Amino acid sequence: MESNLLEIRNLQKTFPIRGQKFSLFGQREQMLAVDNLSFNIRKGETYGLVGESGCGKSTTGRMIVGLEKPSCGSITYEGKDLSKLNDKEFFPLRKEVQMVFQNTLSALSPRQRIVSILEDILKVHGVSDATERRDQAVKVLEKVGLSEYHYFRYPHELSGGQVQRLGIASALVIEPRLIICDEPVSALDVSIQAQILNTLLELQQDLRLSLLFISHDIGVIRYISDRIGVMYLGTLVEEAETDELFKNPLHPYTKGLFTSVPDPYIRKEKISDFSGEQPIRTNNFKGCAFCTRCPYVMDKCTERTPEFLEISHDHKVACRLYDIVE
């Protein structure tokens, strides 16, 4: 078994609730965007993080690459706690931990040609020779399915699929070991999605990359992931290897995700409908994260947060239906 490249333990991120007035003797109430989140990513593995919009997936990815600071908890990469590093200390690790954004076009300067975008990244990370920068940039473009023909074009001159390939190239050009992919195919046609996913799989195998793939689409997650973490309201409710999760989903929320997929090869038996939206989770929130929408809710579900228990080998779930501790 591969050792862990990244370990996340008890991660939490809070944001002040907008629109709420300050009290005279207190602070604004805080929303728990991520709460007590723990998982690991093994070397050479693709870990899929799935859940509906607003559950904290993107916030988790942004904390890993240092764009957001955790409120508490640890993000350990190769023995170093990234959450404790300042910008200067984090900079050398940016070469090893990169991110592909959901809307790549907005993350690229419209005034820069592709040659300038890629070579500037290399220049910032210490590649001083112009010929070496050009060779590396062209090489990485070819790896993601683009060519030297695109080298002097602007990002807006590319198609949606080509822009996402450029986003992947921007992450790969400095040869990272871990890439956070934040909904990289959600805005693309199905055929283009397949091309981008196949490109990521080939690169992951050829370069022995580790990927954290974030998506709300359970079908996409199934296609690319070795293991899957199901996230709801800022925390994991289930985690298992991909085949195991699809054969034997345990948590009611996971079953609900499968029910909502139109693919008959993914859809499981229909469970009772859970309507409504995710509530706002604050420090005053008690019980199971899913208790306000779960069709199987019991009194004990609202009293205590369920433990994240290993039910079988590498299959964990946080649900009072499987909680042996009373």
pLDDT, tens digit, for every residue of 31-67? 899 999 999 999 999 999 999 888 999 999 999 999 9
The CA-based angle 317-84-210, given to 5 degrees, is: 55
Q: What is the pLDDT of residue 229?
A: 97
The CATH superfamily holding the domain 4-96+176-317 is: P-loop containing nucleotide triphosphate hydrolases (3.40.50.300)
Q: What is the pLDDT of residue 29?
A: 80
Q: What is the pLDDT of residue 274?
A: 66
Q: What is the pLDDT of residue 191?
A: 86
How big, in percent rounded to 5, are the helix, strand and coil portions of the chain? 35, 25, 45
Domain boundaries of the chain, sorted by first residue: 4-96+176-317
* Cα–Cα distance, 292 to 289 (Å, whole number): 8
Q: What is the pLDDT of residue 68?
A: 93
Q: CA-CA-CA-CA torsion for 198, 203, 208, 212, nearest 10 degrees?
A: -60
Q: What is the pLDDT of residue 239?
A: 97
* Cα–Cα distance, 199 to 182 (Å, whole number): 16
Low-confidence ranges of the chain (pLDDT < 50): 1, 326
* 8-state DSSP, 29: P
Helix (H) or strand (E) holding 230: strand 227-232
* Cα–Cα distance, 130 to 136 (Å, whole number): 10
208 torsion bin: left (phi>0), alpha (psi -120 to 50), beta (else): left
Q: What is the pLDDT of residue 1?
A: 44
Question: Which residue shows structure tokens 């069709």?
Answer: 295
Q: What is the pLDDT of residue 245?
A: 94
* Cα–Cα distance, 280 to 294 (Å, whole number): 16
